[in-house]
Amino acid sequence: MSTNHTPTPSLTAELQAYVGRRGAPVYAWDRVNEAMVRQWCEVFDVDFPPFLDRQAGARSGHGGLIAPATMLPVWLMPGLRNRRPEGSDTADPRDIMKVLEREGFVGILGTNTEQEYERPLRPGELISCVHSVEAVSDEKQTRMGSGRFVTFLQEFFDEDNKPVGVMRLRILRFRPLVVPPARPSPPQPAINQDTAFFWQGLKSGQLLIQRCTSCGVLRHPPGPACTECHGLDWDTVTSSGRGKLFSFVVIHQPKHPAFDYPLPVGLIELEEGTRLVAPIQCTDASSLRTGMPMAVFIESVDGEDRLPWFRPVSEV
């Protein structure tokens, strides 16, 4: 499940107010230079002669060395101290992100960039850029939560203020889904040789009752010997799963996270005559009455042993 958020017109209007708002120019610290081009080529294992060899650059038709086109945003990076040259715009184009974070859009699911180039850059050129928010999408539903795409636009210019390229950075900010923790399993029973048949029967969808093969008396809870004739031999019979509510309690405390509360627990007298304690599932615990007809239902969960539950016959 997710936290319920309804997009509000006021938020949409606040976000849209950022769209198209262009800042002042931001300037590069350094001119396009051969040293940074060489280092970039070494990092990315690029060996394109017009980037590295002046003679090859002259023969390429560009009149000399050129910089890799994808280095376009590199020249405008602020550096580790996150400072800009004097005269640069100090406004932060990412202020729109603070609005989204305020509204719970704190996750970043994915980003992509698109670059367009007017011409190659040459060593010695000094470029600048202007930032703006190009678009903000409507709220969209994803498997990770509701989110909005924000597209940032960087426009790059040379010293004559002529465009040399653009870059778009698209980011999806989303509200993370609020996923409740998985409900833990109920406490598992201590199983021994005398009781194993009972739990195995439940896994097969059967409610089994132990029967003495000497005198035919049914007994529950299971045990090694008959309480009537003390015989040690026994087999089982399959209960109809129907009976009457002999008595019950409604548990409020203490609580175990595997169960819903209040939790009715009853002593069920089966049609076969034996009684067993089991939790009760009903729409209203206050409607339970001793003597009311009950019917079993059995949950089967791989790798777990579960108690049988009973429901009022009127709710089956």
Asked if 49 and 57 touch (Cβ cutoff 8 Å), the reply is yes
Same structural domain for residues 23 and 145?
A: yes
- Domain containing 253 equals 196-315
Domain for residue 56, yes or no? no
pLDDT above 90: residue 119: yes
Q: Is residue 207 very low, low, confident or very high in pLDDT (cuts 50, 70, 90)?
A: very high
> What ranges in 17-162 are assigned the alpha helix state H?
34-43, 49-52, 54-59, 95-102
Predicted pLDDT at 6: 61
Q: How far apart are CA 268 and CA 263, in angstroms?
A: 15
User: Do 203 and 128 have their domain in common?
Assistant: no
Q: Does residue 5 lie in a domain region?
A: no
Residues 145, 204: one domain? no
Separation of first and last alpha carbons in the chain: 29
Query: What gap in Å lies between CA 316 and CA 314, rounded to an integer?
Result: 6
Residue 2's pLDDT is 44
Give the number of other Cβ atoms within 10 Å of residue 142's Cβ.
14
Residue 1 pLDDT > 60: no
Tell me how far apart the alpha carbons of residues 179 and 185 are, in angstroms, rounded to a whole number.
18
Q: What is the pTM for the complete model shown? A: 0.60
Note whether 153 and 269 are same-domain residues.
no
The verdict on residue 278 lying in a domain is yes
Q: Are residues 25 and 136 in the same domain?
A: yes
Task: Return the CATH number at 224.
Answer: 2.40.50.840
Contacts of residue 168, defined as CB under 8 A and 6 or more positions apart, other chains included, come to 113, 114, 115, 134, 151, 152, 153, 154
Give strand pairing partners of 242. Answer: 295
- Residue 5 banded pLDDT, cuts 50, 70, 90: low
**Strand, helix or coil for residue 266:** strand
Neighbours of 43 (CB within 10 A): 8
Count other Cβ atoms within 10 Å, centred on residue 252.
Answer: 9
Residue 55 located in a structural domain = no
The mean pLDDT of 147-158, rounded to a whole number, is 96
Q: What is the pLDDT of residue 300?
A: 78
Residues 170 and 23 placed together within one structural domain of the fold: yes
Q: Is residue 82 part of a domain?
A: yes
- Convert the pLDDT of each residue in 217-243 to its tens digit: 999 999 999 999 999 999 999 999 999
How high is the mean pLDDT of the chain? Answer: 92
Kindly state whether residues 151 and 217 are assigned to the same domain: no
